Structures are given as structure tokens and as C-alpha cells.
Chain A
Amino acid sequence: MANLDLAKLESIARDGRVQILRMLTHSGSGHPGGSLSVIDILTVLYFSRMKYDAKNPTWEDRDRFVLSKGHCVPAQYYCMARAGFFPESLLLTLRKLGSPLQGHPDRMALPGIEAATGSLGQGLSVAAGMALGLKLAGKSSRVYCVLGDGESQEGQVWESLMSGPKLGAPDHHLDNLCVILDYNGIQLDNFVKKILDLEPIVDKVKSFGWPVLDINGHDLAQIDKALDQAEATKGAPTYIVAHTVKGKGVSFMENDPEWHGKAPKPSEAIEAIREVVGEPVPASVQPILDELKALEKK
């Protein structure tokens, strides 16, 4: 994208990390590691790539986004709030009784969520179906699907990887579908390499007929460029391997399987947010630190 405002996107992603940490601390449970690894990808998708109307979430010409690794939905909730789908104040209701911000995405509860996910392995099939449906309807909308690496051990993912490049042929190839692997290398129990290694993932997916791009999933310019390439590719869906760091931005969370599915305590969140925003703490962030400090005393 020619007019990519990197500084602005970086600022949005930084705010995202702050809000993810804040939300999870309030909810007392959730998945910080993968939310922090995927936020840069979601920032580029929501703020410089996808067509949507936050005030009309069912606008029929919108692009679709499916977060197949649904447990990292706090990152998506932040983006949706920032984009205007719902007020930012709702973020603090994450995982609370009656909230549309369910622990995993709930299409019926929250307009703008395109599919329920969180039972891992299903999102790519659903995204492929959306891409095919849009093609059949003559729409130019695109479909983006973010997969987890641990999730990619599910058989259903490979069913869809096998059929993806062939579906819709000869008139409706799924070149409107772009899959992004959030390759942070860690799953709940341990490192992906130790549980069930995906390597050589690039060669595997290529051999199924997908054009594959290999990028740094925290480099906003690289993400944007890869999405450009995906959009320019005709006749096949694109698969982007985005190398990321679990817990990215918070040194004590980075690359530690312990932070897959554990919410930070208020004191930990304060330390983490301070690291994310740096010194001096911006005026806009200080109230969040005060709020978390108050939470600690409760």
C-alpha cells in the first residue's frame, strides 16, 4: 500500500499491546502470549488493509476476517473497538457474564465477528467457504484467515490446505483468500517443535499448491507488502508464514510457554505495560496504570 503510515500503525499496535494486557488483567484469565504475537498482523489488516464499515458490520461488500486461533481474540477485540465496532469501554467486560466479548469469538453475540472459532482447526475451512461463496456471488471482497501454529496440528487444517488451491476451479479459484500463520513456535504444553513440529512448513504448504510467503510477522511493512503480493496473486489462495514471538513486547513473557494461557497479575501487567510504552509513560497510559494499581489493592 503506497501510503502506509508506519508510525501510525506502530502506535496503534503499541496501544493494542497495552489494551490486551489491561483486558486480560481485568478478566483474570485468557491468552496473552498469542494475543501479543498476532497484534501486529491484525493491526495491518484492520487499519490499512481490510474494507469494512464498523457502523454496518454486515455490509455485503466487506472483506471477511476469520481468527481461526480464536483464543487470541483479545487482540481482535482491541482492533474492533479502535475501529469503532463498539465502544472501547466494552473491552473491560471481556469474559464477564453477559458480555458480547466472549472468551472465544461468538458470531451471534458480537456483530463484526464473522465466525465462531476457538475449537481449533476449523477456521480455515470456514474462510475457504466464505471465499468460495463470495466468488460465486460475483463479489470482489477478500477473506483473511489467521491460523495458529499449534492449531495447525489439527487434521481439518490439512484437509483445507489440500483442497484450497483446487476449490472453485476453473472459474472461481480462491485467489481472494489469504491465510496468515502466526508462527510463534509455542503451544499450550510446550514449544511446537517439541510437541509436534510443523517443519518444513513452507515446503509442505507449497507442495499442496499454495504460493507461500515467508515474513517477519512483527515488521508492519513486511506484513503489508506480503498482503499486497497476496492480493496481486491470481489463480490461487496465498499462505503467509509470519514468524512471530510469543508474548512479543514484554520481555518476561517472550518465548515462555507459561504465558500461553495465563493472565498477568496487576503488578505484572503494570511492569509489562511500562516496558511496552517506554519512559516516560505517556499521559494517555498513566490512568491505565493507576487503574491496574487500584485493581491490585482489591
Chain B
Amino acid sequence: MPGKASRAAFGEALVDLGANDERIVTVDADLSKSTMTAKFAKAYPGRAFNVGIAESGMIGLAAGLALAGRVPFACSFACFVVGRFETIRVSVAYSNAPVILVGTHVGVAIGEDGYTQMGLEDMACLRSLPNIPIIQPADEIETKQAVAYAVEHRNPLYLRLTRQNLEAVHDDKYQFRFGKADLLRAGTDVSILATGGTVWNSLEAAKRLAADGVNAEVINVATVKPLDEEGLLLSAGKTGRVVTVEDHSIHGGLGSAVSDLLSEVMPTPVKRLGVNGFGESGDAKGLYAKHGLDPDGIAKSVLKFLNR
């Protein structure tokens, strides 16, 4: 598969941003080769800190760095970062320490390593904290712009990144806007709201649905929190049917966020596609097929949801 993993785009963006911003530092817990901060560490060894396999300490250290005016990226696999929820909750969120938490290797798409390495509940946990936005970019250009945005955000923030390569869904004129949904394909019959690694799959699904006479709208929800309420309500109001797609548990992620919004403001039927249960080892393609997150699976679920 061509394209680039969002973790790789992140690693490159950090090196570029670090050249002109001395405040940027990285904190890792022995996964810098995987989170792709190793490039930053090579370019700026005095600003990259590896605390060993000690993620709680890593997040606490990042909080202190942030409170002393640095711009720290605290990076590990999403499950290990958010697994230290209590440290995030108090030392980052409650202290309002402007740490950029970076969780890579999200979802079942990491494949063979299996469940213990899969970030599947990270968004659910972080959605419960009042002041930590969640950004999950869908391709290289969006990732690089989101990283640049994160540096300027100056409040806590979570970046959710993939291990696997992502096909481009944007051209080079794309402008990431924090908190804004990104309409990729206008349609009238159903709103497919997707995030991260499932965005391209959703676009492909829309093409197949078109062959079945279904005109699907596809929206890339890069900012999962806060949701672009106006943009999503506009789409849901137009189509009257919403399908959410994410490589995350269907409990607590994008699907839940969208359901929360719609049930309060504009009750609309919602179908949540994602992972229901634990992940497992296997090839990424097979896992996406199993969980119905590949283009065929998404298209099939949409047709069923629309009673077609």
C-alpha cells in the first residue's frame, strides 16, 4: 500500500518544526523507533529524552516540562500512553499542563502484535477528561498540519496516529482546521463520518455504494473532540442517517461522541462501525475485513442500515 503512516508524517513534521522552535522536546519510553521521534532525537539530541519503559514517569515528566515552558511531545503506543490515565488525569489535565500526548499504533490495524499493543480504548478514556482535545489525522498532509497546530495549541492535546500507511485523501492545497469537520464527498442519502485509518476506506465504500444507487456523504472527522457540532448536524439533517467508522472500540469513541450529540440535539438513527470486543493477532487486511472496516464491509453495513 502506498501512502504514509501518520506516525511517519509526525516524525518528519517534528524534525521540521524543531529546527525553528527550541521549546519543542520529545519524551519517549523506549519506543522512539516506533513512534518515529527517533529522527527528532538524532537531529536534536539535547531535546529528546528517553525515560526507559516507564510511561507514568514519562507523562509526569512531560507535565513538568510543559509547566516550565517547554512544548513536550510525550509519545508511545496509544494503549500505553492512555493506560497511564491517572497521571494524565491529574498531572496533565487537572494541572492544565500543555503536554502533547501522542498515541501511535492505534486500532486493530497494527495486526500481528495482537490486542495488548492495540490502542482501542484511548479515545473513550480521554473523551472523559474535560480539557483534552483529540485529533486523529487521516493522511500525511493532515498529520503534518495537525502537528504544527498542536505546538501552537498551548493546552493539553492528544494526537492519535497509525502504524499503517494511509492513502492520501487530500490534495496539497488542504488546510487543516482544528475543530472543523472536513467534507470529502458530498452526498444526500447517508452521512459516513470517519476518522483516521478508516477515512480512505469510507471514501472507497462510497464509490461502491454509488454503484448501488446510494449517494453517500463522507466526512473526515479529524478532531474527534471537540466535535464540529454545526458541521455534523448540517450533514445529519440533510441525510437523516449517520454511520460512524473508526478503528477503535465502538464504545466511547467517535460513534459514541456523535451519538451523544445527535441524541441530545437532533435524534437521528446512527450505526456505529468499529471494534466490538478485544482485538487479536492477524494481518491488518484480514482484521479490517473481520471487523467490517474495509471498503466492502463499510458498504455492506451502510446498505443494511439503509434497508437496501
CA distance A30 to B54 in the complex (A): 32
Q: Which residues of B contact A116 (CB under 8 A)?
A: 90-91, 94-95
**Residues of chain A at the chain B interface (Cβ within 8 Å):** 60, 64, 106-108, 114-119, 121-134, 136-137, 155-156, 159-160, 162-163, 167-168, 171-172
User: Interface of B with A (CB < 8 Å)?
Assistant: 25, 46-47, 49, 51-52, 54, 56-70, 72, 86-87, 89-91, 94-97
Chain A residue nearest to B86 (CB atoms) is A119
Which residue from B47, B54, B64 sits with its C-beta under 8 Å from A126?
B64
Best-buried of B46, B58, B61, B91 by chain A (most CB within 10 Å): B61
Whole-angstrom distance between the alpha carbons of A64 and B97 in the complex?
15
Nearest chain A CB to B190's CB is how many angstroms away?
A: 42
Closest CB in chain B relative to A269 CB, distance in Å: 30
Complex partner residue of A132 from B59, B65, B89, B97, CB under 8 angstroms: B65
Whether A125 and B56, one on each chain, are in contact in the complex, defined by CB atoms closer than 8 angstroms, is yes
Whether B95 lies near A129 (C-beta < 8 A) is: no
A156 contacts B57, C-beta separation under 8 Å: yes
Residues of A within 8 A of B68 (CB): 64, 129-134, 136-137
Q: Are B95 and A159 in contact (CB under 8 A)?
A: no
Closest CB-CB distance, A185 to chain B, in whole Å? 26
| Given A108-B95, A117-B90, A136-B25, A159:B51 Cβ within 8 A | yes
Report the bound CA distance from A136 to B64 in whole Å.
12
B54 and A162 form a contact (CB under 8 A): yes
Alpha-carbon distance between A77 and B67 when the two chains are bound, in angstroms: 21
A133 touches B95 (CB 8 A): no
Q: How far is the CA of A136 from the CA of B68 in the complex (A)?
A: 9
Docked pose: A117 CA to B97 CA in angstroms: 13
Known contacts A126-B63, A132-B65, A167-B49; decide if A155 and B91 are in contact (CB<8 Å).
no
Chain A residues whose C-beta falls within 8 Å of the C-beta of B25 in the assembled complex: 136
Smallest Cβ-Cβ distance to A121: which chain B residue: B56
CA gap between A129 and B56 in the complex, in Å: 12
A125 touches B64 (CB 8 A): yes
The answer to whether B94 and A126 have CB atoms under 8 Å apart is no
Give the complex CA separation of A124 and B63 in angstroms: 11
CA distance A64 to B57 in the complex (A): 19
In-complex Cβ contact of A119 among B57, B63, B90 (8 A): B90
Q: Is the CB of A159 within 8 A of B65?
A: no
Establish whether residues B64 and A115, one from each chain, have CB atoms under 8 Å apart when the complex forms. yes
User: Which residues in A have their C-beta under 8 angstroms from that of B51?
Assistant: 159, 163, 167
Q: What's the least CB distance linking B72 to chain A, in Å?
A: 8
Tell me if B63 and A115 are in contact (CB < 8 A). yes
Across the interface, do A126 and B49 meet the contact criterion of CB distance under 8 Å? no
Q: Quick one: given A133-B64, A136-B25, A156-B87, are A108 and B54 in contact (CB under 8 Å)? A: no
Extra pairs beyond A125-B60, A134-B68 (4, CB < 8 Å):
A115-B97, A119-B90, A122-B90, A133-B66
CB-based contact A159/B56 at 8 Å: yes
Contact of B94 among A106, A128, A131, A136 (CB under 8 A): A106
Cβ–Cβ < 8 Å partners of B63 in chain A? 115, 125-126, 129
> From A135, which residue of chain B is reached at the shortest CB distance?
B68
B27 closest partner in A (C-beta): A129
A122 touches B65 (CB 8 A): no
Q: A130 is contacted by which of B52, B64, B89 (Cβ under 8 Å)?
A: B64
